[in-house]
Amino acid sequence: MDMKFDLAQIAPPPHVAFPMSAPMRACAAGSCDQCGVRDRAICADLPSGDREALSQIGRRVALRAGQTVMWEGDDSMVVANVIEGTLKLSTSLGDGREQIVGVVYPSDFIGRPFGTLTPHSVTALTDARLCLFPRRAFDGFARSHGALQHRLLARTLDDLDRTRAWMLLLGRKSAREKVATFLLDMGRRLPIDRDGTIELPLSRQQVADILGLTIETVSRQMNEMKRLGVIALPGRRGVRLIDAVALEAMAGGD
């Protein structure tokens, strides 16, 4: 189980245009009216006056793939809505072993409100845009707006359910079952183009870090499924789910 320490997790690989230490760039302010996640984010059912007030507290920010927004263990300074892009939540052991504990998509909420410590790092997997709030200001706003707090609670309860379901995968599923479950999950969450192909926002290493496997095992399982005709693997990050029924069977009940 001793995995080799992976330098890439500390220093950004050279091809990452914006190193993780790059400051977040402000981007076109844009009012809530034209926000792409206006009716799905936690601010959705605020009266529009309140929503604008909340908007005043925050700012729009753009991220490049690879940039880290928050670091595990740091003070919790900001929270945010994801407007666009995909990000990962991750924790790691002292020796570099990493576990991705969540993947978030547009309209999801990130950061740790009502708490002082950031429990996990948040890193952009693709270029992304956030609606970022100072944590204390957000906390204060939420405390005085029941609707917002209710929405945040509902979302947190959902996250907790999903996270606990994932524990079953981590603790009890075989490599084959893990990979099949993962692919089905991505098929549900990512846009599917007309020939049924999805573009994973993750490298093989990151898939491994989600499933609690090594990169080699993930690669072997996926190529074995390809050999069986259950999936196709066009390009480095493409996956076409050819036989979803067979995949479901491989995913092992639930």
Partner DNA sequence: CCGGCGCTTTGACAGAGGTCAATGCAGGGG
Partner DNA sequence: CCCCTGCATTGACCTCTGTCAAAGCGCCGG
Tell me if 253 contacts DNA by CB under 7 A: no
Nearer Cβ to a second copy (1/29): 1
Q: Which residues contact 10 (CB under 8 A, 6 or more apart)?
A: 96
By CB under 8 A, the residues from 108 to 137 that bind a second copy are 112-115, 119-120
Of 18-26, 75-83, 159-167, 199-207, the segment contacting DNA by CB under 7 A is: 199-207
Query: Of 156, 174, 193, 229, which one interacts with DNA (CB under 7 A)?
Result: 174
In angstroms, the Cα distances linking 66 to 25, 89, 122 are 14, 12, 10
By CB under 8 A, the residues from 14 to 33 that bind a second copy are none
Report, in this order, helix, strand and coil percent for the chain, each rounded to 5: 40, 20, 40
Tell me if 233 contacts DNA by CB under 7 A: yes
Tell me if 185 contacts a second copy by CB under 8 A: no
Which residues make beta-bridge pairs with 105? none
Nearest CA among 92, 87, 104, 107 for reference residue 43? 107
Cα dihedral 214, 219, 220, 226 sign = positive
Tell me if 223 contacts DNA by CB under 7 A: yes
What 3-state class would DSSP assign to 254? coil
Helix (H) or strand (E) holding 69: strand 68-70
- Positions that interact with DNA (CB under 7 A): 1-4, 8, 13-15, 174-176, 203-205, 212-220, 222-223, 233, 235-237
- Positions that interact with a second copy (CB under 8 A): 1, 89, 91-95, 97-99, 101-102, 112-115, 119-120, 143, 146, 149-150, 152-154, 156-161, 163-168, 170-174, 177, 209, 211-212, 252-254
